Structure 1
Amino acid sequence: MSRKKTVTKIQSDYVKKYDAQQQRQQKKKQRLIRRLVLFSIVVVVAVGVMTMYHMKQRAQYASKQEEYNQLEEQLTVLQEEKNSFLEEIELLNNEDYVLEIARTNYFFSKKGELIFKILDEIPSY
């Protein structure tokens, strides 16, 4: 069986000063803990905001990179088309080429030449 021991406090100036010092240290410790918790919350929020911003930037970068690749492909196609048109312009400056096109597409004939049109389809009669 345990007996309850009671100890009475000594009422002296030293004990009162000691108790006051203990209370000040306890309050100081509580303020420190509150500041650390507040600082931790600020750090967590800052890291969260920076992480969200980074993810947003990565998504934006990926979309811009995709758009850039599409535009590069389009540029390549347009350059090939430009080269084709330049070749065609160069050929159209050649008189023999223009006469050949006129003969094949528009039935232009040389002097004394006869042109017969041959149907590719078989007549149904």
Structure 2
Amino acid sequence: MAAKKHKKKKRKLDFSKLRGVAYLMVSVVLLGLLVSDYYKTIETQKKEMAEVTAQKEALEKEKAAIQLEIEMLNNEDYVTRYARENYVFTKDGETVVILPQKNQ
């Protein structure tokens, strides 16, 4: 009879060890999922940061171009030349003749 009791105890111990291993495996899987989600989030944030940085650089270039244009428009000679070239602005006593363009 002592041998039977020993076998029953061994089965209970095996079951509890199996349960412990199952808990450990589930924990490892969940931890792996958390880590992979963490790295995916980091990659997404890096991509977004790169896009925002590119937009910032483009806006800074646009701002520099606008600043240059503002400085040029503050120059009276530039404004006069620009108006004469683009809007057929004339001086007193001048006559503007627009010639038709030849089709080539």
Normalising by the smaller structure, the TM-score range is 0.7 to 0.9
Higher CA-based Rg: 1
Superposed displacement of residue 23, structure 1: 4.6
Pairing of 1:41-80 with structure 2 (within 5 A): 41-80=22-61
Whether 1:38 and 2:12 are equivalent positions in the alignment is: no
Number of residues of Structure 1 aligned to a counterpart in Structure 2: 103
Whether 1:119 and 2:100 are equivalent positions in the alignment is: yes
Structure of higher RCO (CA pairs closer than 8 Å, 6+ residues apart): 2
Report percent identity of matched pairs. Answer: 29
Partner of residue 66, structure 2: 85
1:62-108 deviation digits (Å, cap 9, x = unpaired): 22221221111111111111111111111111111111111111111
Amino acid at match of 1:89: I
In structure 2, C-alpha distance between the alignment counterparts of 1:56 and 1:83, rounded to whole Å: 41
Superposed displacement of residue 111, structure 1: 2.8
TM-score of the superposition, structure 2-length normalised? 0.83
In structure 2, C-alpha distance between the alignment counterparts of 1:69 and 1:120, rounded to whole Å: 48
RMSD: 1.9
In structure 2, C-alpha distance between the alignment counterparts of 1:25 and 1:95, rounded to whole Å: 107
| Greater fraction helix | 2
The runs of 5 or more residues in structure 1 that have no matched partner are 1-18
TM-score of the superposition, structure 1-length normalised? 0.71
In structure 1, C-alpha distance between the alignment counterparts of 2:63 and 2:4, rounded to whole Å: 87
In structure 1, C-alpha distance between the alignment counterparts of 2:72 and 2:32, rounded to whole Å: 60
Amino acid at match of 1:30: R
